Amino acid sequence: MSEAQPQRSPTREGVLEAAAKMAAILPPTPLIPLEIGGAQVWVKAECLQPIGAFKIRGAWHRLTALGEAERARGVVAVSSGNHAQGIAWAARRLGIEATIVMPQDAPPIKLARTKELGASVVTYDRMTENREEIAQNLAEEKGATYAHAFADPWVIEGQGSAGIEILDQLAAQGAPAPTRILACCGGGGLSAGLALACPDALVVPVEPEGWDDVCRSLETGKIQSVGSSPPPTACDALQTFQTSPINFGVLKERCEYGLRVTEEEVRDAQRFAFANLRLVLEPGGAVALAAALTGKTELNGTTAIILSGGNVDPQEFARTIAEG
């Protein structure tokens, strides 16, 4: 492998640096006021990023941190589609060769868009093959940098830049800083980044039922896995078997609890966003909204909700909307 940059803990200073990097290349995503059950909340439309998800943030901060020699040797990543597109987008802009390890059952639209952005794709079986081993072996063969989807300090800081935007956008509206942020959660990169960005807010990770490793970890005080046979879920972006020490190190200090939502609650949230916000959300991008709509947490104070992604197969989305 390339000479690895020393592992470090993510910091709020790093989040601020990532936010400055993002501001230099992209406008902030909209922060939209919305009423739920008589309470006003604010939704952060990360589904409107150029790649359709917040993952562009961590990818950009990670790849711009590479030195010249590291960029020349390329980057390897693992993703079901959103981190893949973020890495591919950033790599193309920076002139870096990107190889992405993606599950065979990833949504076709995510596979296609990753390839369209110029990345090479290597597929694997999600339930029988170890994606980390595949990626690590590829990185060693190529001498490339392995850009982990969530267990990376630069990626965590990059995702946290969404929280800095929220702070600035609320201030510009004359609104108080967020007291609560609901975050769609897979491995915990976004939740950890937001917790660093907004230390005075309660950050609440939200996961699909059965893929609730972060919830279990917070409840027990140590990292837990979803086990060997988690249930099927439409939330492909959130199918993480367990969080990592670097993420949990932040989460256990700053997040009091996590929330779980059902598949039907996720579909209801997708329909709600389409009807009331005119926004398209993929299932994994709708779980935080689902938690708010079902009253699983209080919405008092200033609550922000991350709509984390919108990369959904058109036919699947049409069926979801039609069902409602």
At 285-301, the pLDDT tens digits run 999 999 999 999 999 99
| β-sheet with 202-208: strand ranges across | 31-36, 39-45, 303-307, 180-184, 202-208, 259-261
pLDDT at 7: 73
Mean confidence (pLDDT) of the chain: 95
pLDDT at 1: 33
25: left (phi over 0), alpha (psi -120 to 50) or beta: alpha
Q: Which helix (H) or strand (E) holds 253?
A: helix 245-254
Q: How far is it, in rounded angstroms, from Cα 155 to Cα 5? A: 13
196 pLDDT higher than 90: yes
Confidence of residue 49 (pLDDT cuts 50, 70, 90): very high
**Over pLDDT 90: what percentage of the chain?**
91
Q: How far is it, in rounded angstroms, from Cα 266 to Cα 270? A: 6
Residue bearing tokens 């991008």: 285
Confidence of residue 102 (pLDDT cuts 50, 70, 90): very high
Which positions ≥6 away from 128 have C-beta within 8 Å? none
94 pLDDT higher than 50: yes
pLDDT at 127: 80
Q: How far is it, in rounded angstroms, from Cα 56 to Cα 207? A: 21
Predicted TM-score (pTM) of this structure: 0.95
pLDDT at 5: 44
Q: Which helix (H) or strand (E) holds 39?
A: strand 39-45
Rounded average pLDDT over 85-101: 97
Residue bearing tokens 């979803």: 226
pLDDT at 290: 98
In the chain, beta strands by DSSP E = 31-36, 39-45, 75-78, 98-103, 120-124, 145-146, 180-184, 202-208, 259-261, 303-307
pLDDT at 132: 85
Q: How far is it, in rounded angstroms, from Cα 113 to Cα 80? A: 12
pLDDT at 240: 93
pLDDT at 160: 98
Rounded average pLDDT over 175-192: 98
pLDDT at 130: 86
Which positions ≥6 away from 74 have C-beta within 8 Å? 96, 97, 98, 99, 142, 143, 144, 145
**Over pLDDT 70: what percentage of the chain?**
98
Q: How far is it, in rounded angstroms, from Cα 320 to Cα 285? A: 14
Q: How far is it, in rounded angstroms, from Cα 67 to Cα 288? A: 36
| Amino acid letter, residue 203 | V
Cα radius of gyration (the chain): 18
Q: How far is it, in rounded angstroms, from Cα 180 to Cα 187? A: 20
pLDDT at 21: 98
pLDDT at 107: 87
Q: How far is it, in rounded angstroms, from Cα 211 to Cα 214? A: 8
